[in-house]
Amino acid sequence: MDVTPAPTPAVAPAATVPELLPEPKRLGVLSRLAPEPMKVVLNWGRRYSLWVFNFGLACCAIEFIAASMARHDFIRLGVIPFAPGPRQADLMIVSGTVTDKMAPAVKRLYEQMPEPKYVISFGACSNCGGPYWDSYAVTKGVDQIIPVDVYVPGCPPRPEALLQGILKLQEKIARESLADRYATAGSSVAQLTSGLVAPPAAEGAGK
């Protein structure tokens, strides 16, 4: 009897096991938050060093002054009142009725403040015109000319309301990202030089 051994079934070659590489060292799930400590420190500094530029226009300014006195003492919150001028201020508090005649001055002084800058609208007149909203000479809210971060309602608000508004603003500063706040799509050369004086023509350029 011819006994022929059965053919051995073909076996696929074993898959090549890749050489295990050492796992790179990571910060875990907190790796994406690596720049967070720097943002926290910068926001902490802005939060507790607000130099106030008071724009008192009417009776609400008296409540602002009361909030800065010893009884309420908003300096304990890191708010320094009465900055020498807009170039040294971080926070503008508009307290009182903004008229159309005063609106350009409010906007001009706001633009002179350095970035980052914040605005608290203090009182009904500053928020929406208050009892004078239908007057031909009253601006219907300071937010029509400058951006407002916190609104404090009341006519006039008590000093405690201003303290609450300052705390709300500090909470906003603590969690803000300046990159998101001031991110732009890019500026052209024409936009950057639009407000500059044109240089004199070079000698012999027209010859």
Integer Cα distance of 120 and 103 in angstroms: 16
Take residue 206 and report the two structure tokens written for it.
Answer: 């027209």
Sheet holding 50-56, edge to edge: 79-80, 50-56, 91-95, 118-122, 150-152
Integer Cα distance of 183 and 88 in angstroms: 24
Give the side-chain half-sphere CA count within 13 A for 34: 5
Residue 155 annotated as binding?
yes
Residue 60 annotated as binding?
yes
Residue 125 annotated as binding?
yes
Neighbours of 116 (CB within 10 A): 14
Give the side-chain half-sphere CA count within 13 A for 58: 19
Burial label for 62, CB within 10 Å (0-12, 13-18, 19+), is middle
Residue 128 annotated as binding?
no
3-state secondary structure of 59: coil
Binding site residue list for [4Fe-4S] cluster: 59-60, 125, 155
Binding site residue list: 59-60, 125, 155
